[in-house]
């Protein structure tokens, strides 16, 4: 649960990257749709959402190799499947 919203593996999220990101490849992903692959918590209880990008032709390869892109919880917005 993050801010009253339940996130789990397989959920679709929209990336909403903030200005604090300085890497151009991250900024290019702003607004793209991704699939949650796993959720990590570090030693300081900071939560990271690990995703693969849905329109990436290599999404299945990245998933099979357990290579993900990591975002903070305020950088993803869950997409409701029913809409």
The whole-number pLDDT of residue 21 equals 63
Dist CA 16 CA 31 (whole Å): 6
Burial class (CB in 10 A: 0-12, 13-18, 19+), 36: buried
3-state SS string over 3-55? CCECCCCCCEEEECCCCCCCCHHHHHCCCCEEEEEEEEECCCCCEEEEEEECC
15 or 1: whose pLDDT is higher?
Answer: 15
* pTM, two decimal places: 0.84
pLDDT tens-digit series, residues 16-50: 887 666 677 777 888 899 999 999 999 998 999 99
Which residues, in sequence order, are bridge partners of residue 63?
Answer: none
Domain boundaries, the chain: 12-78
């Amino acid at each position: 649960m993050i801010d009253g919203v339940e996130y789990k593996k397989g959920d679709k999220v929209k990336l909403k990257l903030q200005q604090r990101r300085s890497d151009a490849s991250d900024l290019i992903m702003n607004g793209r749709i991704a699939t949650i692959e796993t959720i990590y918590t570090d030693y300081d209880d900071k939560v990271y959402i690990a995703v693969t990008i849905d329109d990436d032709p290599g999404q299945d390869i990245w998933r099979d190799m357990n290579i993900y892109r990591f975002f903070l919880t305020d950088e993803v917005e869950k997409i409701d499947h029913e809409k």
